[in-house]
Structure 1
Amino acid sequence: MIALEATAVLERQLLLQLGDRLKRLRKAQGLGTVEMAGRVGISRTTLSAVEAGDPGPSIGTYLKVMSVLGISGELALLAGDTLQPAPPGSAAARSRRGKPVVQLMVSTDESRHRVQDLQSLALHEEAVRLVRADESLRRRAQDTLARWQSAGHSRSASLWHEWDDILTYGKWRKVLGRTRRAQELRQASPLITVLPDDVRQGILDQVNRLRRGVVLGDTEDGQAS
């Protein structure tokens, strides 16, 4: 494992990892989506977004789900005063006891499919961010799509037709999910063609690092990553 600074891809993987674990824990406790959503006080759609690791729901919603599943205590401890620096001159500050060490290990699923899907998702999230900031990039993606469509029949024709609607109306959520359809759309995507080469390579490098596993928190030499 290596220590690594927080990055967009790392943060995305953290949510994906958390969502997967919350879903497995719900099922292990024998809770269906209707009952779980009712206990949390959210819709089934929002629960699905949480279990998909979607960045849309607020951190408060994630905390509510964790609370119902009985695993919010550790997170509450980290957010409380227990791990705050002791006041100067206090007995706690003079103590020789080592400070609490908090680490979080993150890695991608070993399967090639899951790694590729994380990579594709990260590329598209960055592309959407750039398109929202620069309207000319949307037009560039539309021009690329038009060239593909004019080339003739393709097995991706239905996906490209859907992409036409996505690019025209900015329906980005359709391609940023973890559904099978979203994955298919990303595989036939004209959107990532707008990414600069250095941005694309940066994301690929971050995913490759995650494949080896990373540690967030205090390392053995006492330096925080």
Structure 2
Amino acid sequence: MNTPTSAVLERQLLLQLGDRLKRLRKAQGLGTVEMAKRVGISRTTLSAIEAGDPGPSIGTYLQVMSVLGISGELALLAGDTLQPAPAGSAAAQSRRAKPMVQVIVSADESRHQVQDLQSLALHEEAVRLVRNDPALLLQAEDTLERWLRSGNSRSTSLWKEWQGILQHRTWRKVLGRSRRAQELRQASPLTAVLPEGVRQDVLAQVSQLKKGVVLGDGAP
């Protein structure tokens, strides 16, 4: 049976794809400057793609894949390895429709992947809600001000940075995969605006990924 995709699953697919594109670029001995030049994009855009950022268009992802010589089969996008079809092989030359494939998408707890994915997914949902409802932004700002008034804390510098993020709506600072973005999410007032039902839905999707989610039925 096909499993319907969820927002968290789709996000994990992009994260996996970005990681593997980065590894394949390095395996081919390409630096970021040379790779960006070959694709015709900026290094910033290339970094976003390798971070699994949903911002770049799918066309830009495909351009990077093309330069790396990767087939567009789903099994190669989300599987454990990325390998181009051998030159001159039947797979490389075939114009027939590809068979359906079965793909397992999962998050690796041993590398804190689950926690990072859960935090990222919660914040992406919170940002979406705040954009649609300014009252929620005020709620987050009130929560932050209450924390700052509570006195000295190891998180004070992060909270002060959050003041600027909320004021200027610079959400990208907290939706990345950098160490700083992770630290900001750990000291975040933003997830407080999430309705409990939304929070539980995200947690359920992440829990499903721990077990592995199967896409496709493997039938030709």
The residue number in structure 2 matching 1:187 is 186
**Is this contact kept in 2: 1:49–1:57, CA < 8 A?**
yes
Q: Does 1:153 align with 2:116?
A: no
The residue number in structure 2 matching 1:125 is 124
Aligned residues: 202
Which amino acid counterpart does residue 134 of structure 1 have in structure 2?
A: D
What TM-score, normalized to structure 1?
Answer: 0.85
User: Superposition pairs for residues 195-210 of structure 1, below 5 Å?
Assistant: 195-210=194-209
Note the C-alpha offset of 1:81.
Answer: 7.7
**Is this contact kept in 2: 1:63–1:72, CA < 8 A?**
no
**Separation (CA, whole Å) in 1 of partners of 2:44 and 2:35:** 12
**Is this contact kept in 1: 2:3–2:216, CA < 8 A?**
no
Note the C-alpha offset of 1:73.
Answer: 4.9
Which amino acid counterpart does residue 214 of structure 2 have in structure 1?
A: V
Which amino acid counterpart does residue 118 of structure 1 have in structure 2?
A: L
The residue number in structure 2 matching 1:49 is 48
Which amino acid counterpart does residue 60 of structure 1 have in structure 2?
A: G
**Separation (CA, whole Å) in 1 of partners of 2:96 and 2:187:** 49
Note the C-alpha offset of 1:57.
Answer: 0.3
**Separation (CA, whole Å) in 2 of partners of 1:66 and 1:112:** 26
Which amino acid counterpart does residue 97 of structure 2 have in structure 1?
A: L
Q: Does 1:168 align with 2:167?
A: yes
**Separation (CA, whole Å) in 2 of partners of 1:199 and 1:107:** 21
The residue number in structure 1 matching 2:79 is none
**Separation (CA, whole Å) in 1 of partners of 2:144 and 2:95:** 53
3-state SS, counterpart of residue 109 of structure 2? coil
More deviation, 166-175/211-220? 211-220
Identity within the alignment, %: 73
Which amino acid counterpart does residue 118 of structure 2 have in structure 1?
A: Q
**Is this contact kept in 2: 1:3–1:214, CA < 8 A?**
no
Note the C-alpha offset of 1:4.
Answer: 2.8
**Is this contact kept in 1: 2:102–2:217, CA < 8 A?**
yes
Which amino acid counterpart does residue 156 of structure 1 have in structure 2?
A: S
> Per the alignment, do residues 107 and 3 of structure 1 end up closer, same or farther by CA in structure 2, a change over 3 Å counting?
farther
Moved over 6 A (4+): none
3-state SS, counterpart of residue 154 of structure 2? coil
**Is this contact kept in 2: 1:108–1:114, CA < 8 A?**
yes
Structure (1 or 2) with the larger CA radius of gyration? 1
**Separation (CA, whole Å) in 2 of partners of 1:16 and 1:112:** 14
More deviation, 64-73/175-184? 64-73
| Unaligned segments of structure 2, at least 5 residues | 75-90
User: Superposition pairs for residues 45-124 of structure 1, below 5 Å?
Assistant: 45-74=44-73, 82-83=96-97, 100-111=99-110, 113-124=112-123
3-state SS, counterpart of residue 111 of structure 1? helix
**Is this contact kept in 1: 2:159–2:187, CA < 8 A?**
yes
The residue number in structure 2 matching 1:177 is 176
The residue number in structure 2 matching 1:18 is 17
Note the C-alpha offset of 1:5.
Answer: 1.5
**Separation (CA, whole Å) in 1 of partners of 2:164 and 2:121:** 21
3-state SS, counterpart of residue 203 of structure 2? helix
Which amino acid counterpart does residue 31 of structure 1 have in structure 2?
A: L
Which amino acid counterpart does residue 171 of structure 2 have in structure 1?
A: W
Note the C-alpha offset of 1:103.
Answer: 2.1
Superposition RMSD in Å = 2.0
**Is this contact kept in 2: 1:145–1:164, CA < 8 A?**
yes
